[in-house]
């Protein structure tokens, strides 16, 4: 397997190597002794521990078995599998246009049954209107200098949204928004009014739980976090300024699930949430 040129990928490999080194040292084994037990060339252990060679699933199973830590194998394998695809720069993901970027996540959306979504600054994709999507994607296209396949990308996102919210197969959506997302203007006033009205309608669906965290909530115990999508208990997606981050490590997914639950405790629902939305609509004038 060739080494990724991106420093974040290399840093992740090195971090995995340090974890494997700790497993070996906890077992009281030298690198040479572990290599002998596993039937490897003695340099292989060093290469893996320093991030110069990514370990295979079999390598990790053998490593943990000989170190008496077989119970750690599933978590370490999940880390190793996630490293190559974990950090994808937007310029790579969008090199064939916005439509391709939208289509790339369709398999994940199709197999997910429980969506947990937290957004501190933007109404998230599953509950966006066509006009709001168009405003968001227009800004991305212009800022990143992408090919103009905007309308195709809008159609793909709307189709993805329709199948997820109204298609066959039971899917549940828990959406948490900071109140500020209702007031950050994306597009013109008509776009925002239509989006907020749509949010009221979507919140009435049996499959959707909409919570809004009021701006005046005491945040001493939990500050606003980065926005994220949690797909079942399998994958977390985080959108960074420069890249799309995919998290598959079980203990990290657990951390996001825990933060989502804590944020949900801060939110208001039902009539209280609708009141915040209608107040935001009224503020548009």
| Bridge partners, 229 (sequence order) | 117, 237
User: Which pLDDT score, from 0 to 100, does residue 41 have?
Assistant: 94
Q: How far apart are CA 99 and CA 243, in angstroms?
A: 17
User: Which pLDDT score, from 0 to 100, does residue 265 have?
Assistant: 97
Q: How far apart are CA 123 and CA 44, in angstroms?
A: 48
Threshold 0.85, pTM exceeds: no
Q: Give the start-to-end residue ranges of the domains of the chain.
A: 7-85, 94-283
CATH 1.10.260.40 matches 7-85? yes
Cα three-residue angle 246-195-241, rounded to 5 degrees? 30
Rounded to an integer, what is the distance from CA 17 to the centroid of its chain?
A: 24
Q: pLDDT in tens for each of the 285 residues of the chain?
A: 333 334 556 778 899 999 999 999 999 999 999 999 999 998 999 999 999 999 999 999 999 999 999 999 998 998 888 776 676 777 778 888 899 889 988 999 999 999 999 999 999 999 999 999 999 999 999 998 988 899 999 999 999 999 999 887 789 999 999 999 999 999 999 999 999 999 999 999 999 999 999 999 999 999 999 999 999 999 999 988 877 888 887 888 999 999 999 999 999 999 999 999 999 999 998
Structure tokens at 235: 């994958």
User: Which pLDDT score, from 0 to 100, does residue 93 have?
Assistant: 80
User: Which pLDDT score, from 0 to 100, does residue 70 have?
Assistant: 96
User: Which pLDDT score, from 0 to 100, does residue 42 have?
Assistant: 86
User: Which pLDDT score, from 0 to 100, does residue 6 have?
Assistant: 47
Rounded to an integer, what is the distance from CA 244 to the centroid of its chain?
A: 8
Comparing CA positions, the residue from 251, 207, 209, 206 lying closest to residue 233 is 251
In CATH, the architecture of 94-283 is 2-Layer Sandwich (3.30)
User: Which pLDDT score, from 0 to 100, does residue 1 have?
Assistant: 37
User: Which pLDDT score, from 0 to 100, does residue 84 have?
Assistant: 61
Q: Tokens 């290599």 label which residue?
A: 35
User: Which pLDDT score, from 0 to 100, does residue 8 have?
Assistant: 58
3-state secondary structure of 156: helix
């Amino acid at each position: 397997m060739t080494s990724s040129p991106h420093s974040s990928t290399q840093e992740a490999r090195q971090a995995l190597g340090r974890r494997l080194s700790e497993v070996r040292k906890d077992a009281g084994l030298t690198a040479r002794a572990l290599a002998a037990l596993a039937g490897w060339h003695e340099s292989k252990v060093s290469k893996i521990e320093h991030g110069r060679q990514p370990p295979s699933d079999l390598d990790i199973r053998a490593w943990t078995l000989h170190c008496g830590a077989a119970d750690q194998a599933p978590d370490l394998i999940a880390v190793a599998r996630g490293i190559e695809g974990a950090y994808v720069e937007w310029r790579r993901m969008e090199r064939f246009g916005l439509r391709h970027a939208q289509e790339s996540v369709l398999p994940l959306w199709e197999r997910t049954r429980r969506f947990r979504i937290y957004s501190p600054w933007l109404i998230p994709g599953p509950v966006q209107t066509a006009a709001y999507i168009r405003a968001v994607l227009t800004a991305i296209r212009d800022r990143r200098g992408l090919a103009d396949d905007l309308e195709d990308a809008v159609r793909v996102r709307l189709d993805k949204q329709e199948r997820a919210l109204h298609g066959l197969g039971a899917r549940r959506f828990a959406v948490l928004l900071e109140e500020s997302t209702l007031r950050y203007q994306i597009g013109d006033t008509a776009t925002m009014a239509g989006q907020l009205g749509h949010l009221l309608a979507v919140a009435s669906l049996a499959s959707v739980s909409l919570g809004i965290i009021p701006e005046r909530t005491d945040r001493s115990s939990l500050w606003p976090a980065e926005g994220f999508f949690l797909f079942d208990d399998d994958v977390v997606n985080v959108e960074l300024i420069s890249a799309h981050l995919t998290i598959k490590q079980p203990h990290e997914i657990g951390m996001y699930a825990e933060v989502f639950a804590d944020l949900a405790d801060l939110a208001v629902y039902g009539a209280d949430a609708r009141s915040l939305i209608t107040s935001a609509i009224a503020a548009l004038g």
